[in-house]
C-alpha cells in the first residue's frame, strides 16, 4: 500500500534557515532562485563551523586524533551519499567540486580513453552548458560527432527522434534528468535502456533532480550519475560522481597528486584504488563533512513530502501567472519539478529581475546557461522562479503581486 505524502510544517522548516530572515531593500527576503542554489539549514551551517572549530585536520594520512575524526566524518558522508543514490558500493561515489566537474571528469577520462574518431555522442536541446561544452571539446580533440535530441513546444524530448539518432556508431549519451530552465523531468530510464540496446554508455546530469526526485542508480541502470550538493541544501563547491565500478576501474586518473597514488618513484607511479584514484590533493573536507547533514535533513523531511509541497507551489504559481496579460510560460511539460520560466510581451527579463529585487524578491533572469535552448524558443532569456521546501503559498502570492506591479511600471 502506497502511503500519502505527509503535510509538512513549513513554518517550523523556515525557522531552520537563518537567511530567510534577511531584509532586502527594506523587505523580508523572498527567495525564488532555488534552481541556482538552495539555502542552507542551521544544522549544515553548524556542521561547517563545528568541523573547523573542533576537528580541522587533513584526512586519510594522519594518525593523530583530529585526523582520524575528520577522516571518519569524511567517509561517513560518502556512505550517506551511497545510500542517497542507492549505489552498490561506497567506493563508487567520487567526490568532485560539482556537477560540472563530474561531467568533465567523465569526458576527459572515459571519453579520451574509449571514444575515437567517428564515434557519436548524443545530448539534448535542453542541456546546461556544462553538459554541452565538455563534449564539444572532446569532439574537437577526438573527431567524434555530437548529435542533439530535439524537443517539442512544451519543452519535452522527442523520443521518436532520439530513437532515430541511435545507431551502432552511438557510443555515449549524456542527458539532463531535469531541465534547470524549464523544469521538465526527462524519461531517463527509457533513454538509458535505448542507449544500452546499441551498446552506448550513459551519463545523467542530476543537478536539478537531486533535491526533488528519488534517485536510484541501480534501478535506472545508468553508467554515470552526477550531482551538486549546493542544490540539495548543502554547501557549495561539493559534488558527486557515481559510476559503475568496472567503468571507474578502467578509467585513467583525472588529476595527478597526493592521495590518488599508491607508490611514486621518478621512474613510475602506480595509482590508488577507488575512490581515491579520482580524488587528488587535499579535498574540500569541510563541505564534504557538512553534506551528510544536508542529506540527513532531506531524509528527515522525506523526498515524497517535499515534492508534494513543491508541486502545490508550482500549480498555484502557474495558475496565477497565466492570469497576467502578455505572460507566456516557457516549458509546459506534463512532468515537471517546481520551476516556472516565463516571458512577458514587451518587457525585458532583466528589467523584471531588477524591479522584483527592489521588492526583496529574488528570481533568476537570463539564459540560465542554456543558450541553445533559448534559441530553440526564439528568445534571449526568461524570468525563472524556482521553489524549495521552505517556500509558501503566501510567498507565491506576494511574488505575483510584485510582478503585476512591475508590469504596470514598465507598460
From the list 139, 144, 222, 369, the catalytic residue is 369
Quote the cell numbers at residue 315: 500549480
Cα–Cα distances (Å) from 294 to 86, 228, 234, 309, 320, in that order, read: 17, 12, 5, 18, 32
Determine how β-strand 30-31 pairs with β-strand 361-362.
Answer: parallel
Determine how β-strand 364-366 pairs with β-strand 382-386.
Answer: antiparallel
DSSP, collapsed to helix, strand or coil, labels residue 7 as coil
DSSP, collapsed to helix, strand or coil, labels residue 259 as coil
List, in order, residues 6 or more apart from 203 with CB less than 8 Å away.
Answer: 103, 106, 172, 173, 174, 175, 222, 223, 224, 225, 226
The question of whether 139 is a catalytic residue gets the answer no
d(CA 360, CA 214): 32
Task: Write b or e for each residue in 336-346: b if 16 or more Cβ atoms lie within 10 A of its Cβ, otherwise e.
Answer: bbbbbbbbbee
Q: Using omega within 30 degrees of 0 as the cis cutoff, is the peptide bond preceding 275 cis?
A: yes
Neighbours of 362 (CB within 10 A): 18
385: closest CA among 30, 21, 8, 18? 30
Instruction: Supply the residues annotated as catalytic.
Output: 369
Amino acid at each position: 500500500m502506497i502511503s500519502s505524502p505527509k503535510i509538512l510544517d513549513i513554518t517550523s522548516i523556515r525557522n531552520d534557515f537563518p537567511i530567510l530572515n534577511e531584509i532586502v531593500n527594506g523587505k523580508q527576503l523572498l527567495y525564488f532562485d532555488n534552481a541556482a542554489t538552495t539555502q542552507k539549514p542551521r544544522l549544515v551551517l553548524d556542521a561547517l563551523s563545528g568541523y573547523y572549530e573542533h576537528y580541522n585536520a587533513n584526512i586519510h594520512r594522519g594518525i593523530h586524533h583530529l585526523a582520524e575524526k575528520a577522516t571518519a566524518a569524511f567517509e561517513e558522508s560518502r556512505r550517506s551519499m551511497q545510500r542517497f543514490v542507492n549505489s552498490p558500493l561506497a567506493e563508487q561515489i567520487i567526490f568532485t567540486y560539482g556537477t560540472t566537474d563530474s561531467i568533465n571528469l567523465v569526458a576527459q577520462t572515459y571519453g579520451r580513453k574509449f571514444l575515437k574518431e567517428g564515434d557519436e555522442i548524443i545530448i539534448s536541446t535542453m542541456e546546461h552548458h556544462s553538459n554541452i561544452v565538455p563534449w564539444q571539446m572532446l569532439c574537437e580533440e577526438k573527431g567524434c560527432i555530437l548529435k542533439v535530441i530535439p524537443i517539442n513546444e512544451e519543452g519535452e524530448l522527442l523520443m521518436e527522434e532520439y530513437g532515430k539518432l541511435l545507431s551502432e556508431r552511438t557510443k555515449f549519451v549524456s542527458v539532463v534528468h531535469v531541465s534547470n530552465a524549464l523544469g521538465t523531468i526527462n524519461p531517463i530510464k527509457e533513454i538509458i535502456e535505448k542507449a544500452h540496446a546499441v551498446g552506448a554508455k550513459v551519463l545523467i546530469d542530476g543537478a536539478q533532480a537531486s533535491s526533488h526526485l528519488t534517485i536510484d542508480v541501480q534501478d535506472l541502470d545508468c553508467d554515470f550519475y552526477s550531482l551538486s550538493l549546493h542544490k540539495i541544501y548543502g554547501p557549495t563547491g561539493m559534488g558527486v560522481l557515481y559510476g559503475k565500478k568496472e567503468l571507474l576501474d578502467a578509467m585513467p586518473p583525472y588529476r595527478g597528486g597526493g592521495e590518488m597514488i599508491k607508490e611514486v618513484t621518478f621512474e613510475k607511479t602506480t595509482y590508488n584504488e577507488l575512490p581515491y584514484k579520482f580524488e587528488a590533493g587535499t579535498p574540500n573536507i569541510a563541505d564534504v563533512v557538512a553534506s551528510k547533514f544536508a542529506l540527513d535533513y532531506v531524509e528527515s523531511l522525506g523526498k515524497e513530502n517535499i515534492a508534494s509541497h513543491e508541486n502545490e507551489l508550482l500549480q498555484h504559481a502557474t495558475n496565477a501567472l497565466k492570469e497576467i496579460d502578455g505572460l507566456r510560460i516557457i516549458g509546459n511539460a506534463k512532468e515537471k519539478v517546481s520551476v516556472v520560466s516565463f516571458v512577458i510581451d514587451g518587457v525585458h527579463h532583466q528589467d523584471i529581475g531588477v524591479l522584483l529585487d527592489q521588492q526583496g524578491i529574488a528570481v533568476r533572469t537570463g539564459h540560465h546557461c542554456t543558450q541553445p535552448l533559448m534559441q530553440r524558443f526564439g528568445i534571449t532569456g526568461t524570468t525563472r522562479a524556482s521553489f524549495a521546501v521552505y517556500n509558501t503559498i503566501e510567498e507565491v502570492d506576494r511574488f505575483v503581486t510584485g510582478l503585476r506591479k512591475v508590469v504596470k511600471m514598465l507598460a
